[in-house]
Structure 1
Amino acid sequence: MDASKLRELRDFVEACKKNPSLLADPNLSFFRDYLQSLGAKIPAAAPSFESPKMGNPSVEVTEENRDASQEAKGKAMEAISEGKLEDAIEHLTNAIVLNPLSAIMYGTRASVFIKMKKPAAAIRDANAALEVINPDSAKGYKTRGMAYAMLGKWEEAAHDLHTASNMDYDEEINAVLKKVEPNAHKIVEHRRKYERLRKEREEKRAQRDRLRQRAEAQAAYDKAKRKEQSSSRSSGGASPRGFPGGMPGGGFPRGMPGGGFPGGGMPGGFPGGGMPGGFPGGVPGNVDMSKILNDPDLMAAFSDPEVMAALQDVMNNPANFAKHQANPKVGPIIAKMMAKFNGSQ
């Protein structure tokens, strides 16, 4: 069995020894059934406890009430010394009603509840002393810390007992702290351990997410690159600087028959009466393509998107040459290419 679970079980058993009424919790019915199956005797549940009256801190306390409160407290202390704790509670309740502004009265009644093993009632009185009347009540912190210890709330107990000790040290506080601190330390270490494990899990999950996102991004990039390469291959190759579609057979893209423009020429010819009807028969098969590829002006033009768009437009429809011939960037390039096809350059 896990060591931490054993410690928790041991702490629970210790709490039950100090306050057997814990076993009356309905949530622990399964545990009671198990103990009884082993022959254990479960103490009968204590009769329902009616919480004593709390004072009204808004009332004005007269001198007579203050004196009467002190007298009731004296009777309570006498009852405590005789072991008559129920009587002591009754006298202290009278004292609180007479002087509801006395943190000492609440703290004293809380200490009696501790003796009666009623930690919940003790905590209620201690809270009244600390939260309503005097936040610096050492007795309030002491009794509440002892009540928390009875309930197995080790961290809360350690906090209150240390606070009380700093205000007004006594041996009883020190004795309780010796039992409380080791348990509180175990809880703190246990929490730190699981907090560390939680952070490690979060860091690992974040690392996995980063790796997954990186892999997805790489896969998307590789897919786009493969698509681009496939598109480039399917377009029939490429001339230097990416002449679209390449020049199969020494001609322009899209397979110009005979190496010339589609349809056999450019209707209307070039301006000035040149080459009406286009190139008869297309570009000759013996055209030296090196003249085009080694011409710096043409190669520079091939890298110009505007020129390439115009060339593509003309190749798709030769009749479109008319709308590009006045363009000073496009017209001269086409004319120069025509001249090379005719072998004049």
Structure 2
Amino acid sequence: MDIGKVSELKEFIESCKSNPSLLHTPSLQFFKSYLLSLGARIPPQPKTEPVVDDDDIIESDIEFDNTDDVVQPDNDPPHKMGDPSAQVTDDQRDAAQLSKSKAIDAISQGNFDQALDLLTQAILLNPHSSILYATRASVFIKLKKPNAAIRDSDTALKINPDSAKGYKIRGLSRAMLGLWTEALTDLHVASKIDYDEEIAMALKKVEPNAHKIEEHRKKYERLRKQKEQKRAQPKKQPQNQAQDKDALSALKDGQVIGVHSVGELETKLSAASKTSRLLVLYFTATWCGPCRYISPLYTSLAEKYQRVVFLKVDIDEAVDVAARWNVSSVPTFFFVKNGKEVDSVVGADKNTLERKIAQHSGPL
């Protein structure tokens, strides 16, 4: 084994020694089951009030279906296993086959303990037979000893990686332990190698729970990413805050601001953009009758919509500003958001003017 992996394993074991409650983590259920299968004693989980953040993954939140067949992990001493390096004679193979036949008869009669003894005898005679381990695993399933069944299934699959029975029995065993995702993987492989009705029935029970776990993990993965993105967002620097403060000071809430040059207009446009405010640019003239009619309303709108920037430009005084905006008649109103013109009104139509201000500025 890689030295680095051994070192990581040692660190993990030390962590478990110092904090045994780690073994009750749902994602470590497989390791806990393995320890129990070896006869280990796991300290009970301490009864403490859980402290749960919004994005903590809590698999116990899931309401699983078809849990009637789930059992507590068995921790009986392991049954005898054959010597994989042993040389097997033809006589031993024949004797193993005879013991297996007797075990099958015992299974059909419900004598599972006798069947286990006969299959163990057969395994010791011929430890190279994948089917012997898989058959004994199937007996452990009937006795509701999933960990013992998993040990035999693992051995069967080491001997024959294409053993459909090995995958099927291990999948059924994992389902009995509530390891839905792992069970689904094994049963899918078994169905591809040698599909049967028992696998089909097991899949109907396992798939819904495995899919619930997957959706649960996806949900909390999204929450985790959202939190990471939120943390990664740069905090507004003091310099930016000062710039925003300067921009606000250039705007006069509730008032109409006169603009007399292109430079003044650019300052106001920049300030409105930095503060994400709607800006209304009103072009007028002293000789314009409709302008005299609409101006008082424009002033009252500034008092009403105090988060909107209201500018006023006399086209005879600020000729360069009027030329830049191609003003051909007055009164004319331009609506600007984030530095871009989004709408306009030509003429002294007070209803349309207020409607467009309300439309582009959002709530008061």
After TM superposition, the score normalised by the length of structure 1 is 0.51
Q: Name the residue aligned to 2:115.
A: 88
- Report 1:1-345 matches (<5 A): 8-11=62-65, 15=67, 17-21=68-72, 49-131=76-158, 133-207=159-233, 210-212=234-236, 215-216=237-238, 218=240
- Tell me the distance in 1 between the aligned counterparts of 2:76 and 2:59: 33
| Number of equivalenced pairs | 188
Deviation at 1:220, TM superposition (A): 10
Contact 1:19 1:117 in 2 (8 A): no
Deviation at 1:86, TM superposition (A): 0.5
Q: Name the residue aligned to 2:330.
A: none
Deviation at 1:51, TM superposition (A): 2.0
- Tell me the distance in 1 between the aligned counterparts of 2:96 and 2:239: 79
Q: Which has the larger radius of gyration?
A: 1
Amino acid at match of 1:184: A
Amino acid at match of 1:108: T
Q: Percent identity?
A: 57
- Tell me the distance in 1 between the aligned counterparts of 2:84 and 2:139: 22
- Tell me the distance in 2 between the aligned counterparts of 1:118 and 1:110: 9
CA offsets per residue over residues 281-312 of structure 1, 9 Å max, x none?
xxxxxxxxxxxxxxxxxxxxxxxxxxxxxxxx
Query: Structure 1 or 2: larger helix share?
Result: 1
CA offsets per residue over residues 219-276 of structure 1, 9 Å max, x none?
7999xxxxxxxxxxxxxxxxxxxxxxxxxxxxxxxxxxxxxxxxxxxxxxxxxxxxxx
Contact 1:110 1:126 in 2 (8 A): yes
Deviation at 1:135, TM superposition (A): 1.1
Q: Unaligned regions of 5+ residues in structure 1, if any?
A: 23-45, 223-345
Amino acid at match of 1:95: A
Deviation at 1:130, TM superposition (A): 1.0
Contact 1:72 1:91 in 2 (8 A): yes
CA offsets per residue over residues 95-150 of structure 1, 9 Å max, x none?
1111111110000000110010000000000011112x111111100000000000
- RMSD over aligned CA atoms reads 2.6
- Tell me the distance in 1 between the aligned counterparts of 2:90 and 2:59: 56
Query: Structure 1 or 2: larger strand share?
Result: 2
- Tell me the distance in 1 between the aligned counterparts of 2:239 and 2:153: 62
- Tell me the distance in 2 between the aligned counterparts of 1:69 and 1:217: 84
- Tell me the distance in 2 between the aligned counterparts of 1:9 and 1:193: 15
Q: Name the residue aligned to 1:316.
A: none
Deviation at 1:211, TM superposition (A): 2.6
Larger RCO (CA within 8 A; separation ≥ 6): 2
- Tell me the distance in 1 between the aligned counterparts of 2:135 and 2:241: 74
